[in-house]
Amino acid sequence: MHATIYHNPRCSKSRAALALLTEAGDDVRIVEYLKTPPTRDDLAALLDRARLTPREALRANEPEAKSLKDATDAQILDAMAQHPILIERPIVETEKGIVIARPPERVHEVL
């Protein structure tokens, strides 16, 4: 099975999700989204396929997120595109679906 993980190697949850994918024998495409962020349109499409709102995919504890308390979905997407640190991680996509793998064991939902 092929999987894509939007990954931050500094994040323990992201590393754990990647390890689960690797252990499952998946062919894993790793996107270090802080180095190669998705475009706003790509992120919107990814969240739409995952049936997630931008607010559900927002790392609310990041300092940049504080100003987004009353923001619209469009404003949150704009902020995520400008500051990819605001994107919750890891996001895992397979042909079975897309999950935010927090906790990492959520990876099993799309394997």
- 71-98 pLDDT, tens digit each: 999 999 999 999 999 999 999 999 999 9
Is 103 within 8 Å of 13 (Cβ atoms)? yes
**pTM to 2 decimals?**
0.92
pLDDT score for 97: 96
Copy the structure tokens of residue 39. Answer: 């475009």
11 is catalytic: yes
> Structural domain boundaries of the chain?
1-33+89-111, 40-86
Q: Which of 1, 66, 50, 62 is nearest to 27 (CA)?
A: 1
pLDDT score for 25: 86
Q: Of residues 2, 4, 8, 11, which has the active-site annotation?
A: 11
Q: According to CATH, what is the number of the domain 1-33+89-111?
A: 3.40.30.10
